[in-house]
Amino acid sequence: MRLLNLIKIAYKAIILNKMRTLLTMLGIIIGVASVIAMLAIGEGSKESIRSTISSMGSNMITIRPGADDRGPARGSGGNVQTLTLEDYNVIKEKVDLLSNSTPVVNSNGQVINGSNNWPSSIYGVYPEYLDIKVVGLQSGSMFTDAEVNTASKVALIGQTVVDNVFPNGEEPVGQMIRFNNIPFKVIGVLEEKGENTFGQDQDDIVIAPFTTVQKRILAIDYLNQIMASAVSEDDAPEAVEIITEILREQHKLQDFEDDDFTVRSMEELISTFSSTSEMLTVLLVAVAGISLLIGGIGIMNIMYVSVKERTKEIGLRMAVGGKGSDILMQFLIEAILISITGGVLGVALGLGATVFIENFLNWPTSVAMYSIIISFAVCAITGIFFGWYPARKASALDPITALRYE
Amino acid sequence: MAKETIKIENLKRQFTMGSETVHALKGISFTIEEGEFVTIMGSSGSGKSTMLNILGCLDQPTSGNYEIDGVKVKNLSKNELATIRNEKIGFIFQSYNLLARTSAIENVELPLLYNSKVTSEERRKRAINALEMVGLGDRLFHTPSQLSGGQQQRVAIARSLVNNPVMILADEATGNLDTRTSYEIMTLFQELNKKGITITFVTHEPDIATFSGRTIVLKDGEIMQDYKNHKVQSAADQLAKLPLENHLS
């Protein structure tokens, strides 16, 4: 009842000074709107990174030779020859949590078609590779297990390779190309994937049967990599652990020895890159937070003016029985009303700005519920914090002096 | 004997201004009974304003005793003083002190907003009654800028009546008004007094005192005169005697 009266009084004071109140609110409105928009941009980029990585196969697990924390003296992991086809077979046999898996050997070289040539990379894999990497075919078909067994000289090429070695728009499927002087028959073209989040061209690639690359091009007996996909994204961390255990056993490592291989799930990659964008979000929000602070100072300023201007009114209110606490609450509620109304308008503006950014600038955005709740709470606190001191000043006025104030 | 609304005994108030002590009131005693119409007169510096502040519970005496409606005011906290002002005193000021851009009825409701015992329906009903008593029943929703000075003072009088105070305390209530309007306001005060309302009117205009039943004259912080007026003039009659041109000019 009493509080309701005070809210009415504060509301009345705000209505009587519409323009001034609106300008005061503007600081808060802009502050809140920018917090929400910035968080939406931050969240959006985080989600976009996540979805990019997911499109590369979010349940993908890669196993590479060499320890993760290798120092400069140990040399590049690719040269470490600890991963073998035997390892692959054991993993494939023993780990139930994997749906697909393939050994990988790769090499760089020159793709040549007549007078056209292009430096690219060749990957020797099993047919499951396409499922693990979630790549489709534009034309042609994947090689078969039989072709792997016979080390057939067939290959699939990515769009970048097509563009460079078939510049005149001929149909590549069925044509012969040479990779490091070994002739391959093109049996398919991979679906275009474009650059990934890390700026790597995913279409600059040649894929051939594992045996063909390992025996005919590289002439090695170890693997560069094993790729697999877990049954589901949630199973990936457990699969990583099991694979690690099996490989340690397989490599006869003692307890005190470090792993001579690295098993990684995409989940780790996601968190690595998310942390970068989280940093960005923190910065954006800090900037937005500062503007909210400035909005709060605006409220404090205007409340001071208001107290000064209404000194006589305060005197009268005290004379007719208003207590110090009533006056304090009146001005405090006024400040809170301004900041909360500003908050509501700010949320609306922030959401509007987010829609605008999404549709006209084509930046990925995602509005998180928590950002709305937080900025709203911050608004109320701003009102209390910056309204307190002027309100306190008003309540401490001497009614006699206040009544005589001109 | 009638009930004593105000009882003051040996009241002193001094202010310290730097190293000097100013004795604004030097031991004043008087009582005001229920239903009296008292004017407190005095030139500036007489202690009139200090007296008014203490009577209005806006200030506390340095020593001596002050009782209003049987309540000893000395040693009450700020909040308790506010409650006394809210429940026992109706203030009227020289410059009306109405809230700008706020309707007459809302201005009159103001003291009741600070009294949580009064519901909003009762508040509205009492405000309308008070405004009808001062003859502004048809101006409930006019704002101060839409009212003449006399009408604004009537709103202020309605505001002072709305909490059913034991005493109305008027500070130079006619000081901003022309002669005709002052007489109109004084007529209203006399009517209210006839209804049994105790009025204390602080002024420096001698002709206002002729409308009251008793006059206390202060000088240099002491009571110089305290006399009953046996020939109270009727403000309504004085109003009727005013030349018509005066009204038109």
Residue B91 in contact with partner chain A when CB distance is under 8 A: yes
Q: What is the pLDDT of residue A70?
A: 44
Q: Say whether A320 and B111 touch across the interface (CB within 8 A).
A: yes
Residue B62 in contact with partner chain A when CB distance is under 8 A: no
- Extended strands (E) in B34-124: 37-41, 63-68, 71-72, 89-92
Q: What is the pLDDT of residue A360?
A: 87
CB A7 within 8 A of CB A337: yes
Which stretch of DSSP H or E encloses residue A202?
none
By C-alpha distance, which of A198, A182, A183, A130 is closest to A158?
A130
Digits of tens for pLDDT over chain B (249 positions)? 578 999 999 999 999 988 999 999 999 999 999 999 999 999 888 999 999 999 999 999 999 999 999 999 988 999 999 999 999 999 999 999 999 889 999 999 999 988 888 898 999 999 999 999 999 999 999 999 999 999 999 999 999 999 999 999 999 999 889 999 999 999 999 999 999 999 999 998 888 899 999 999 999 999 999 999 988 999 989 899 888 755 554
Q: Say whether A320 and B115 touch across the interface (CB within 8 A).
A: no
Q: Say whether A12 and B163 touch across the interface (CB within 8 A).
A: no
CB A387 within 8 A of CB A305: no
CB A238 within 8 A of CB A42: no
Distinct helix (H) and strand (E) counts, chain B: 9, 10
What is the rounded CA–CA span in Å between residue A316 and residue B98? 8
Measured in angstroms, the CA of A386 and the nearest CA of chain B are apart by: 25
Measured in angstroms, the CA of A322 and the nearest CA of chain B are apart by: 6
Measured in angstroms, the CA of B92 and the nearest CA of chain A are apart by: 10
Which residue of A320, A326, A328, A398 is the best one to mutate when testing the B interface, meaning the one whose CB has the most B CBs within 10 A? A320
What is the rounded CA–CA span in Å between residue A90 and residue A92? 5
CB B101 within 8 A of CB A16: yes
What is the rounded CA–CA span in Å between residue B235 and residue B112? 31
- Name every chain A residue with its beta carbon within 8 A of the beta carbon of B101: 16
HSE, side-chain direction, 13 A CA sphere, residue A347: 18
φ, ψ for residue B138 (rounded to 5)?
-100, 10
Both structure tokens of B168: 């109305």
Residue B116 in contact with partner chain A when CB distance is under 8 A: yes
Mention every residue, 6+ apart, whose C-beta is less than 8 A from residue A44: A358, A363, A364, A365, A366
Residue type, B128: I
Mention every residue, 6+ apart, whose C-beta is less than 8 A from residue A261: A63, A64, A65, A66, A67, A82, A83, A247, A251
Q: Say whether A321 and B87 touch across the interface (CB within 8 A).
A: yes
Q: What is the pLDDT of residue A381?
A: 87
φ, ψ for residue A154 (rounded to 5)?
-120, 155
By C-alpha distance, which of A216, A215, A239, A214 is closest to A224?
A214
What's the Rg (C-alpha) of chain B?
18
Domain tally for chain B?
1
By C-alpha distance, which of A173, A152, A128 is closest to A216?
A152
Range of the domain at B81: 4-248
What is the rounded CA–CA span in Å between residue A307 and residue A325? 15
- Which of B179-210 are b and which e, b meaning 16 or more Cβ less than 10 Å from the residue's Cβ? ebbbbbbbbbbbebbeeebbbbbbbeeeebbb
Q: Say whether B116 and A1 touch across the interface (CB within 8 A).
A: yes
CB B229 within 8 A of CB B199: no
CB B52 within 8 A of CB B28: no
Both structure tokens of B206: 């001698």
Give the tens place of pLDDT for each residue, B65-119.
999 999 999 889 999 999 999 999 999 999 999 998 899 999 999 999 888 888 9
Classified as helix, coil or strand, B203 is strand
Return the CATH number at B53.
3.40.50.300
Mention every residue, 6+ apart, whose C-beta is less than 8 A from residue A353: A33, A36, A37
- Averages of pLDDT over runs of 10 residues in chain A (406 residues) are 77 85 89 87 81 73 73 50 86 87 91 89 92 86 90 92 88 90 92 74 90 89 89 82 89 83 79 76 81 86 89 93 91 90 92 90 83 84 88 92 86
ipTM over 0.90: yes
Pairing of strands A182-190, A154-157: parallel
Measured in angstroms, the CA of B246 and the nearest CA of chain A are apart by: 31
Mention every residue, 6+ apart, whose C-beta is less than 8 A from residue A382: A28, A292, A293, A295, A296, A299, A339
Q: What is the pLDDT of residue A235?
A: 82
Residue type, B73: V
- Name every chain A residue with its beta carbon within 8 A of the beta carbon of B102: 12
CB A151 within 8 A of CB A200: no
**How long, in residues, is chain B?**
249
Q: What separation in angstroms does the CA of A60 have from each of A96, A175, A231?
A: 15, 32, 9
